[in-house]
Amino acid sequence: MNLDGIGVTSRRTRERLVDKLKDKGIRNANVLDVMRATPRHIFIDEAFSHLSYDDIPVNIGYKQTISQPYVVARMTEAVLDAAPLMRVLEIGTGCGYQTAIIAQLAEEVYSIERIKPLHDKAVANLETLGIENVHLIHGDGSLGYPDKSPYDAIIVTAAPMGIPNELLAQLAQNGRLVIPVGGTAGQELRLITRKKDQFISRLLDHVRFVPLLKGQVKN
Ligand code: SAH
């Protein structure tokens, strides 16, 4: 990550956010380090920039939000295994915050977004941070991105009503899928781990994401 020329908000503001993440149960030191180092304000429009280091989701336009830092940290922690993550897929790039976090902990990241202006924003944001191991795709990721599968981890940041089999099929051996499942009233955040052709599912948390929708939006 390259922070030259980025007015990075004071270390103390970001340290306070990291303290909050620790209070809420985030333990992985690598995740905490990356959350501490990554400026969130560059992902947020100026009108809302005062909320950048609060532990809440923030509007990014197009009826979408940048995820709550705790949820980003929780999902990231859940997919980090003892083994290094070589290839990761994210579904729902939004403005690219979760993408930037996981990119610092994985070899190569693919991330797909259906709304073109958000995809474009994410391209610009990751360029600003000098993050180069990410491939951003504009398209419908509701059935994953089989072209580059299998993945060591799949992070889904919009909620389907059920877990698509297509996503399970794109997991590598011991691969992990983290996904919110359910309607707009609230969802279960689930971690699925692949062991040969067995899929072990664990409930991580209760969350609220925007719905995973079909098709793509050009402008
Ligand atoms: N990962 C983002 C969260 C963005 S909100 C972050 O770190 O803040 C979820 C995003 O998923 C929205 O931008 C929405 O447009 C996108 N999305 C919803 N359905 C999708 C689909 N089928 N394919 C790709 N992106 C989708």
- Enclosing H/E stretch for 37: helix 29-37
Q: What is the per-residue pLDDT across 94-136, written as a single tens digit (0 to 9) for each?
A: 999 999 999 999 999 999 999 999 999 999 999 999 999 999 9
Answer yes or no: are the C-beta atoms of 87 and 110 closer than 8 Å.
yes
- What is the reported pLDDT for 134? 98
Kindly calculate the radius of gyration of the chain based on its CA atoms and give it in whole angstroms.
16
Answer yes or no: are the C-beta atoms of 41 and 49 closer than 8 Å.
yes
Answer yes or no: are the C-beta atoms of 66 and 57 closer than 8 Å.
yes
Answer yes or no: are the C-beta atoms of 70 and 32 closer than 8 Å.
no
pTM of the model: 0.97
Report the separation in Å between the CA atom of 173 and the middle of ligand 1, taken as the mean of its atom positions.
Answer: 26
Under 8 Å CB-to-CB from 7, ≥6 apart: which residues?
none
Which residue in 67, 111, 142, 149 is the catalytic one?
Answer: 67
Which atom of ligand 1 lies closest to the CA of 67?
Answer: 8
Answer yes or no: are the C-beta atoms of 8 and 39 closer than 8 Å.
yes
